[in-house]
Amino acid sequence: MQHRKRSSTWRHQLVGSLAACLLAASASGVELNISARFRPSVLSPQTMQFENTTPQGSYCGRWPTYCTDKKFSITFPVSWSYPSMKSGETDPRKGVYIKVPNTFRTVQVVNSQTGQTSQLRFRVSGMASTFNLTRSLMDITGASNFIEAHDKLWVSSYWNYPSGKCTRITDAWASDRWGAAIWGYPESADGCYKLAAYTIPAPGISMTDAGLMYELQTPSPLELGNGEYKGSLEYRIGPGQDFDFGDTATADASSVKINFVLSVAHELKVNYPDNARQVLLEPAGGWAVWLQQGRAPGPLQRDIPFTVASSGNFSVRLECQYTVGRHCGIANGKQLVVPVATALSMEGLRVKDSGQKAARTPLSNAAAVVFGSQAASAARRSQLHFTVAAPDVTAMAKQSGERFVGTVTLVFDAGAI
């Protein structure tokens, strides 16, 4: 059933009306959780935002098809009531009055595994609620049908048109004893309200199925390592507090703690050519100079091309079959071990600590080098550079007929910060 009036759409849910109940006072606190995750695909590097993973609740949980175009609501686990309401009242605080913390607050979030900290900003941008009556609106207003009764009951039109500086976010769902909608709270808004045009006698009005819309300004996921980042805010409930329901309301909680969890799971893919598993080190120009002229061959080298796709910081370190100081080594059967210097070049990446471009950056078995960028990439052209210095090649040349071999393992870690 659908009826339009004053550009407002009302929906009638064909179920029994919600039973109203008065709520007892309580000093208890409640909690709710807000979560978001960053799980990018290097095949879609332009996607660099956190995704809201908080389950829909309240208005949008019940009528999700009417919460498109970025409208949403999450469950706000607080109910409150008004014992009665007089017609002709002009004081907003003696009507259905709802004030929310609609200005931004800063929250520190911490990765408990790594200790990395960051900050997010949060504000409430909308409030969903359902008012409930024990008598039908037709009984109270004398209207012939519930749609007309909803229009007559409240000063300034239907429930989804709040008074004050708030805005209409959604259409309203309603029956002959209840109505539900979301009010929008710009940062300039104070408390918003509805005043009754008819007296609503005891037991009055109960407010249920509350929900929040919010704005969450998150840090850049490129600056965060993998893991969960947690933080919280606590708001007070009551007259003059963060959540303020007016002078006559009785709420079933005195505070609400909002817990935030940001989950980060960067993607890292390294692709080598099929023939890169075995690296043959040779002098520039090959072995001919040494074999034909008897001259020292100079340093042994090999560059290996590969690609790396990443969405955040990552580190690279060496693991060695033979260790020579900070380098890996190769050895012959007589246990002569010579160092192999390993360096890394990656297009568009920089060394995090120094800010220098990743161009022949030395790698070590002692400490990982962390690399980062300002954007994700599906495939960065990269090279590994292996070098045996000329003095070590001279020592190798004295071992005529010997073969020098060794395993060098590169460990890429997307969990780096």
pLDDT band at residue 108 under the 50/70/90 scheme: very high
Q: 17 — phi, psi (to 5°)?
A: -65, 150
Give the pLDDT band of residue 267 (cuts 50, 70, 90). Answer: confident
Q: Please report the pLDDT score of residue 229 as a whole number.
A: 96
> What's the one-letter identity of residue 138?
M
In the chain, what are the domain boundaries?
Answer: 2-264, 268-413
3-state secondary structure of 317: strand
pLDDT tens per residue across span 1-40: 233 333 333 443 333 222 223 333 344 899 999 999 988 7
| The dihedral sign for the CA sequence 145, 147, 151, 154 | positive
pLDDT at 250 over 80: yes
264 in Cβ contact with 221 (< 8 Å): yes
Per-residue confidence at 285, pLDDT binned at 50, 70, 90?
confident
- Highest mean pLDDT: which of 11-20, 173-182, 240-249? 240-249
**Mean of pLDDT over the chain:** 87
Phi, psi angles (nearest 5°) of residue 326: -85, -5
For 364-402, give the DSSP string: -SSSPEEEE-SS-EEEEEEEEEEEE-HHHHHHHHTSTT-
Does residue 346 register a pLDDT over 60? yes
Element (H, E) at 271: strand 268-271
Q: What percent of the chain has pLDDT over 90?
A: 67
Q: Which of 151-155, 268-272, 348-352 is the least confident region? A: 268-272
- The confidence score (pLDDT) of residue 39 equals 82
Q: How far is CA 46 from CA 70, 225, 377, in A?
A: 20, 19, 8
User: Of residues 195 and 3, which shows the higher confidence score?
Assistant: 195
pLDDT of residue 292: 63
- The confidence score (pLDDT) of residue 295 equals 67
pLDDT at 129 over 70: yes
Residue 290 confidence (pLDDT)? 67
**DSSP tag of 140:** H
Q: Indicate if the pLDDT at residue 144 is higher than 50.
A: yes
Q: What are the backbone dihedrals phi and psi of residue 330, each rounded to the nearest 5 degrees, phi first?
A: -125, 150
Domain 268-413 annotated CATH 2.60.40.2040:
yes
What are the Cα distances from residue 220, in Å, to 38, 44, 223? 10, 16, 6
Q: 222 falls in which pLDDT band (50, 70, 90)?
A: confident
pLDDT for 82? 97
Rounded to the nearest 10°, the torsion over CA 201, 203, 209, 214 is 60
Give the residue-averaged pLDDT of 75-102. Answer: 96
